[in-house]
């Protein structure tokens, strides 16, 4: 009695298994990343700010300072030129205003500040005066920009769709920018309430273990079906 393995079916099953197991392993990696993210956000709750120059010096030395709270003094920030970065908040579209903070000391001469979110339904904007120099003290959270999605729209002069630090710095005339953003926690324009500082993403869920078990479960089910097919073929013969 011949019990040859069906090559075509076996190859298809192996390819599908590799894909399912790969997706499960990727979700486990995402699980570790998400847990680290949630731990960092939790640590922010009671963390006092440190001087921005000190944090940026650590970054220049290779230290990971993502999600650390800092305090920066930015000359003229309330009236600084800004760029519009597309964003969403609680299902509503709008823009985040990005300005440059000039630095007097440290390894960088400027750092980009995400000043907050403005709904698309609001057409007004803060005033702009590149010559303004009145210092603004802002508490902020350091964020390292994520790699852009392959599906992200192209940036334009009118609206940006990804956090391109070199490009934004050039557009704002900011020299030697730090490789991070300062996500403002305190208002840079207290008199203009439409600008809402939103430094940390809200409502973050962590279901990657559930997703991983789903993919691994599908891989196990595929193996069971494959074994059943072989058993039936061999039994019939």
pLDDT in tens, the chain (237 residues): 456 777 888 899 999 999 999 999 999 988 887 787 777 777 777 778 999 999 999 999 999 888 899 999 999 999 999 999 998 888 889 999 999 999 988 899 999 999 999 998 998 888 888 788 899 999 999 999 887 666 677 787 778 999 999 999 999 999 999 999 999 999 998 888 889 998 776 666 778 889 899 999 999 999 999 888 888 877 765
From CA 212, how far away is CA 102, in angstroms rounded?
45
24, 120: one domain? no
Are residues 119 and 142 located together in one domain of the fold?
Answer: yes
Going by the DSSP 8-state scheme, the letter that residue 153 receives in this structure is P
Residues 6+ apart with CB under 8 A from 102: 74, 75, 76, 109, 110, 174
User: Among 206, 186, 219, 236, which residue's Cα sits nearest to residue 35?
Assistant: 206
Q: Would you say residue 12 lies in a domain? A: yes
The reply to whether 174 and 226 lie within a common domain is: no
| Number of structural domains the chain divides into | 2
Judge if 11 and 115 occupy the same domain.
Answer: no
Q: Which of 208, 152, 187 is nearest to 26 (CA)?
A: 208
Reported as type and span, the H/E element at residue 74 is strand 69-75
Domain-embedded: residue 41:
no
- Structural domain includes residue 172: yes
Q: Do residue 27 and residue 135 come from a single domain?
A: no
Helix (H) or strand (E) holding 22: helix 7-44
Structural domain that includes position 69: 49-184
């Amino acid at each position: 009695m011949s019990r040859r393995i069906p090559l075509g079916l076996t190859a298809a099953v192996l390819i599908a298994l590799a894909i399912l197991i790969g997706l499960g392993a990727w979700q486990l990696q995402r699980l570790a990343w998400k847990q680290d993210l949630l731990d960092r956000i939790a640590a922010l709750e009671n963390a006092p700010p440190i001087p921005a120059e000190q944090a940026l010096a650590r970054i220049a030395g290779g230290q990971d300072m993502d999600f650390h709270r800092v305090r920066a003094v930015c000359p003229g920030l309330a009236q600084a030129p800004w760029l519009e970065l597309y964003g969403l908040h609680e299902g509503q579209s709008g823009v985040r205003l990005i300005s440059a903070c000039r630095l007097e000391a440290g390894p960088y001469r400027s750092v980009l500040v995400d000043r907050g979110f403005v709904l698309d339904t609001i057409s007004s904007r803060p005033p702009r005066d590149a010559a303004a120099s009145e210092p603004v003290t802002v508490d902020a959270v350091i964020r390292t920009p994520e790699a852009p999605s392959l599906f992200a729209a192209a940036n334009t002069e009118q609206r940006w769709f990804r956090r391109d630090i070199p490009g934004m710095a050039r557009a704002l005339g900011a020299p030697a920018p730090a490789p991070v953003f300062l996500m403002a926690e305190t208002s840079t324009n207290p008199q203009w309430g439409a600008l809402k500082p939103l430094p940390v993403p809200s409502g973050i869920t962590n279901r990657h273990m559930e997703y991983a078990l789903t993919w691994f479960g599908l891989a196990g089910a595929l193996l069971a079906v494959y074994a059943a097919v072989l058993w039936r073929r061999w039994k019939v013969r």
